[in-house]
Copies of this chain bind each other. A is one copy, B any other.
Amino acid sequence: MTPLTPARPPGRPRSGINDVVFAATLSTVRELGYARATVERIAAAAGIAKTTIYRRWPTKGALIVDCLLDAFGPVPLEGGSRAEIVSSAVRWTAGKIGEPGVGDAFAGVFSDGVSDPELREILSSRLQDPYRLALQEALGEPEHRVLFLIDVVVGTLLHRMGMTGEPMVDGDVDALVEMVLPLFHREPDSP
């Protein structure tokens, strides 16, 4: 029998530094901004060597995406009605992007992806697709309508963050929720 999880691969095991690196990444981005948060500075803040980071993540973009995945976690979709699901998802997104360092890191890695197709693929498949699929499932909506919702919500929040350097205030998040709710007022599967 070949065990599904071999007890442990040979060689020195990896030390549990992912959490330390993620924390160091966010705090460095928060203090210095995305561009000045170099891999070398992040490694120094985490107390490890730069080569150790490149042994685990192929590029800076991949590191940021994993850091964002860790910071976001799963989207809460416990609302009863579709309106409640959309509303809570939008507010959750705004809250996460408003957390210190998260919005900067998100906007920065998104920016890098503009002219880097490989990073764009990582962003799309690892970061956007899981949330898109969860929303499609919860709302019973086709892919292109959920993609449109994500474009509107994330695009608006990142544009505000990018132009002002500050997250969107609660009053405008309320307006954003009210604006997107009519997109999903019609029940898609009702007889």
Residues on A lying within 8 angstroms of B by beta carbon are 33-36, 104, 107-108, 110-117, 120, 123-124, 128, 144, 148, 150-152, 154-163, 165, 168, 172, 175-176, 179-180, 182-183
Q: Which residues of B contact A117 (CB under 8 A)?
A: 165
| A147 CB to nearest chain B CB (Å) | 8
Give 17 A-B contacts (CB < 8 Å), ordered by A residue: A34-B115, A35-B114, A104-B115, A108-B111, A114-B161, A117-B165, A124-B163, A144-B172, A151-B156, A152-B155, A152-B176, A152-B179, A155-B155, A155-B156, A155-B158, A175-B183, A179-B183
| A116 CB to nearest chain B CB (Å) | 7
Given contacts A35-B116, A108-B111, A116-B35, contact A159 B151 (CB under 8 A): yes
| A117 CB to nearest chain B CB (Å) | 7
Interface of A is mostly: helix
Name the residue of chain B whose CB is nearest to the CB of A37: B115
Given contacts A35-B115, A115-B33, A179-B183, contact A160 B151 (CB under 8 A): yes
Complex Cα distance, B155 from A152, in Å, reads: 7
Name the residue of chain B whose CB is nearest to the CB of A154: B159
Q: Which residues of B contact A110 (CB under 8 A)?
A: 111, 159, 162
Contact A172 B148 (CB under 8 A): yes
Q: Which residues of B contact A115 (CB under 8 A)?
A: 33-36, 104, 108
Complex Cα distance, B108 from A115, in Å, reads: 7
